[in-house]
Each structure stands twice: as structure tokens, then as C-alpha cells.
């Protein structure tokens, strides 16, 4: 049956042409954008995965910048430590020369003084972007639990999609010549010692078989020692010459018998934090929990140490502002034969200190370099993975475009023929 109202052939041809045009437009979009999945409507699942990976790529770019900054900072510190080692080696040569009797020790001492000043200059100038890792100014604790800094090194995404960051800890090395300031008992001390001074009496049922570390004072921002927490070095108004209060970076040394524990005060520490840290330090140092019971009162900020043995044990406690690793360099004197002999022993320890610092920085610098190379390769792999998901196959798209253009032309001709079919009905009325 022929109809002038319903042209089925034209409808079929029109739908075919629309479908061809839609596919042609998609092929043209792939060619123009270079992507087979350019938006969520193309394939929502793959698009979502690619966007997560793109976010990770951007994060790794920031990590690369962090690693580059960290590597430069550590490189400056390493170079300074190596330079100090070379200068100390020269000083050792001077000291060795001073062992001879037929020399002018005063002139040798003048050379040593000049080299010492050069070391001070090197240490104070070893900063990158304001951060100096060798002058003792760093007081923060890094991810390894040491005094130092952290360098952002990675972003870790687990199966659940949770992202966490990882860091490389860089331990600061104090190569300054500043001598430590001995703090008074008001800053930190054993406040209760009921028995013999400096001794924890034997456990004989009495009340003098324990001591308490329970006296603390902190420097405040008005130049006094009335604070409740440890302030950072350089805090406005803080007077670090006041020996009656603690600040970040101060070192507490507690010895019971032959076991010595050290704790470095951190920014924000309270009395409770210090006694907890000291207990941990004793445990790490190997103090027997069977011989000595350590009880903490977190409310009062007290560490009670009880002697459980049947013998009295000596103890000592001291607090200092912290001293530079090369502080002994300032007291080296070779003007006499006796002093020259003593200086020879001192310089060996100082050289070893600077060598250890150089080795520490060199090790972490190598680790940063390895991580930086890995992040670069990982970023390239992520980009390749994203490309495999969303990039268009240009060869396939080109072939498909030409085929669709031919289909479009044929579809137009088919529609034109279908539209002419109703005209044939006119011949029936002639």
C-alpha cells in the first residue's frame, strides 16, 4: 500500500542518517580532542578512574618539587659538614706540628684560631631558604623521632581509596661551637630525695627507696620562667639566657647506676610530656623494670622511680641548654706542650663528629635522589596508564571518520530517494 501521509522508507533513511551523523560527530570529537573518553557521559567508570589518577599525577608533581627543595637543603648541609671536616683536618695538622718542641706554638695557635673562625663562618652560612641543618637551630622532631625535618616523599593510596603521605626524615646535626648552658635545679630537678643525697636507698621497707622527678619550670614570652609549656627557640620575648626554665632543645640527662637516659625537650612539651619521654628513654636505655619501677602521674607531672633491689644505687640528674658538637674546639690550646698533647685527643673526637654529620647527610641525600628518580618514573607510568584508558586511537579514528563520511553521503542519497517516493502516486491520477 502506498501512502502520502506515512513514508516508512523516509523514516528509516532519516534514522539511519541521524545515527551516522552522531557517530561521525563522535569520531570528529575524538580527533579534535585526542581522547576517546573526554567526559563522564562517554564512560563514567573509566572517566572517574582517569580523574583520580590525574589527581595523583598532580600530587606527585608537588612531591617532586618538595624532593628537589629537600635535596638542595641537605646538599648544602652536607657540603658544609664536609668543609668543616677538611678544616678540622687542617687543625689536626697544626696540633700535630705543635707536638714538636722546637716550634713557635703561639703562631700555630693563631692559625688554629683563624681556622676555628672559618668553621664558625661555614656553619652559620650553611642555610638554604632560611633553614640551617648544622647550627643547632632546628628543634622539631621528624618522622624518625630525631631532631630534624621531614621531606614529603610520596602519596600512598590503598585499596579503599584512602590517601596518606610519606616523608623522609632528615636528622639535624649540631656543628656549632656554642657551649651548653647548665640549667639550675629550678628548671628541672629531682624534687624529692628523702634518703641520702644522690642515692636511691635499698628497698628495706622504708620510705627512702624512691625518688621523684617532679620539678619543672618553662621559659615564657616575657623573659621569665613562668610558662607552662616549652617554647620554640626564637620565640618573641623569650630569653634563652635564663637558666631557671626549660625551652625546646634543652637536654635532660638522668643516670641511675650505670644506665643513662637523655631526653631533648620539644616545642609544646609540658611536665607530663617530659616525664613520659624520660621514662621511655630509660626503657630504651635498658633500665631493668624488675629492679626499678617507674610510675608516672600524668596529672601532677611526676616520674617516681623505686629501687626494688637490696642495694643502694646512685643517681644523678642535670639539665643543659644543649651544646654544639664542636663546642670543645673553642678551648683547644697548643701554646704549651701539655695542652698540645691534650688537644690531639680532642681533635680526633671533633673530626669524628663532623664525619658522622657528613655521612648522615650524604646517606639521606642519596635516599632523596633515589626517591626523586622513582617519583619521576612513577609519574610517567601513571600518565601512560591514563593515556591507555582515555586517549583515542588516531589510526582507528581516521579510518572510522572516512567510513562514516561515505555512510553520511549514502544516507543523504537514500533519504532523497525515499522522499521522492510519494510523487509516484500522482501517476495513478492521470
Residue carrying the nine cell digits 706554638: 105
Supply φ then ψ for residue 252, to 5 degrees: -105, 130
The residues facing 35 across adjacent strands are 391
How much is the average pLDDT of 247-252? 80
Does position 196 have pLDDT exceeding 80, yes or no?
no
Query: What is the structure's pLDDT at 239?
Result: 85
Closest among 340, 319, 373 to 63, alpha carbons compared? 373
The CATH number fitting domain 188-322, selected from 3.30.450, 1.10.287, 2.60.40, 3.30.160? 2.60.40
Query: What is the structure's pLDDT at 333?
Result: 86
CB 390 within 8 A of CB 48: no
SS3 217: coil
Confidence of residue 192 (pLDDT cuts 50, 70, 90): low
End-to-end CA distance of the chain: 19
The CATH number fitting domain 47-177+328-384, selected from 1.20.1330.10, 2.60.120.10, 3.30.479.30, 1.10.1380.10? 1.20.1330.10
Residue carrying the nine cell digits 633515589: 370
Q: Which of 65-74, 141-150, 219-228, 250-259 has the lowest mean pLDDT?
A: 141-150
* Each residue's pLDDT tens digit, 387-415: 888 878 788 878 888 888 888 888 888 88
Separation of alpha carbons 175 and 140, rounded Å: 17
**Widest CA span of the chain, in angstroms?**
142
Residue carrying the nine cell digits 677538611: 86
Separation of alpha carbons 423 and 400, rounded Å: 36
Query: What is the structure's pLDDT at 4?
Result: 73
> In this structure, is the dihedral angle defined by the CA atoms of residues 255, 256, 262 and 266, taken in order, positive or negative?
negative
CA dihedral 14, 17, 23, 28 (to 10 degrees): -130
Residue ranges in 161-300 assigned as alpha helix (H): 271-285
Number of helices and strands in the chain (H, E): 6, 12
Q: Which of 53-62, 398-407, 419-428 has the lowest mean pLDDT?
A: 419-428
- Calculate helix-pair angle for 8-33, 394-420, nearest 10 degrees: 160
CB 178 within 8 A of CB 324: yes
Q: Cα angle vertex 418, ends 4, 23, to 5°?
A: 130
Fold match between 47-177+328-384 and 188-322?
no
Separation of alpha carbons 292 and 285, rounded Å: 13
Domain spans in the chain, listed from the N-terminal domain onward? 8-34+392-429, 47-177+328-384, 188-322
How many CB atoms lie under 10 A from the CB of residue 247? 29
Residue carrying the nine cell digits 632523596: 368
> Could you give the C-alpha distances from 279 to 24, 32, 192, 257, 288, in angstroms and in order?
75, 67, 17, 15, 12
**Listed ranges 196-210, 292-306, 313-327, 336-350; the one with the highest mean pLDDT:** 292-306
**Listed ranges 123-127, 137-141, 400-404; the one with the highest mean pLDDT:** 123-127
Amino acid at each position: 500500500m502506498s501512502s502520502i501521509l506515512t513514508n516508512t522508507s523516509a523514516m528509516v533513511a532519516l534514522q539511519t542518517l541521524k545515527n551516522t551523523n552522531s557517530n561521525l560527530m563522535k569520531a570528529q570529537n575524538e580527533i579534535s580532542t585526542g581522547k576517546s573518553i573526554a567526559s563522564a557521559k562517554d564512560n563514567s567508570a573509566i572517566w572517574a578512574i582517569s580523574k583520580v589518577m590525574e589527581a595523583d599525577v598532580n600530587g606527585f608533581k608537588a612531591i617532586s618539587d618538595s624532593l628537589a627543595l629537600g635535596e638542595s637543603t641537605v646538599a648544602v648541609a652536607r657540603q658544609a659538614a664536609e668543609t668543616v671536616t677538611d678544616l678540622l683536618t687542617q687543625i689536626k695538622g697544626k696540633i700535630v706540628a705543635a707536638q714538636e718542641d722546637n716550634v713557635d706554638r703561639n703562631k700555630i695557635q693563631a692559625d688554629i684560631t683563624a681556622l676555628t673562625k672559618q668553621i664558625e663562618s661555614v656553619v652559620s652560612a650553611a642555610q638554604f631558604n632560611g633553614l640551617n641543618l648544622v647550627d643547632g637551630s632546628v628543634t622539631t622532631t621528624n618522622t624518625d623521632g630525631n631532631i630534624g625535618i621531614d621531606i614529603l616523599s610520596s602519596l600512598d593510596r590503598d585499596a579503599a581509596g584512602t590517601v596518606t603521605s610519606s616523608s623522609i626524615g632528615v636528622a639535624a646535626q649540631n656543628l656549632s661551637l656554642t657551649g651548653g648552658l647548665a640549667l639550675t635545679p629550678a628548671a628541672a630537678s629531682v624534687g624529692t630525695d628523702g634518703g641520702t643525697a644522690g642515692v636511691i636507698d635499698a628497698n628495706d621497707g622504708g620510705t627512702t627507696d624512691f625518688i621523684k622527678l617532679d620539678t619543672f619550670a618553662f621559659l615564657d614570652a616575657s623573659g621569665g620562667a613562668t610558662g607552662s609549656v616549652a617554647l620554640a627557640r626564637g620565640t618573641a620575648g623569650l630569653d634563652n639566657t635564663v637558666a631557671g626554665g626549660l625551652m625546646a632543645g634543652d637536654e635532660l640527662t638522668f643516670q641511675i647506676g650505670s644506665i643513662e637516659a637523655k631526653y631533648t625537650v620539644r616545642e609544646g612539651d609540658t611536665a607530663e610530656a617530659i616525664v613520659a619521654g624520660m621514662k621511655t628513654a630509660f626503657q630504651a636505655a635498658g633500665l631493668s623494670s624488675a629492679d626499678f619501677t617507674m610510675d608516672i602521674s600524668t596529672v601532677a607531672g611526676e616520674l617516681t622511680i623505686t629501687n626494688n633491689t637490696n642495694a643502694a644505687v646512685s643517681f644523678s640528674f642535670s639539665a643543659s641548654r644543649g651544646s654544639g658538637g664542636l663546642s670543645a674546639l673553642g678551648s683547644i690550646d697548643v701554646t704549651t706542650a701539655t695542652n698540645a698533647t691534650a688537644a690531639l685527643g680532642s681533635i680526633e673526637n671533633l673530626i669524628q663528629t663532623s664525619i658522622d654529620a657528613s655521612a648522615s647527610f650524604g646517606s639521606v641525600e642519596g635516599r632523596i635522589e633515589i626517591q626523586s628518580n622513582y617519583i619521576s618514573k612513577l609519574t610517567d607510568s601513571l600518565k601512560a596508564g591514563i593515556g591507555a584508558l582515555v586517549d583515542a586511537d588516531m589510526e582507528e579514528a581516521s579510518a572510522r571518520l572516512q567510513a562514516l563520511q561515505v555512510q553520511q553521503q549514502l544516507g543523504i542519497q537514500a533519504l532523497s530517494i525515499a522522499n521522492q517516493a510519494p510523487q509516484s502516486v500522482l501517476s495513478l491520477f492521470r
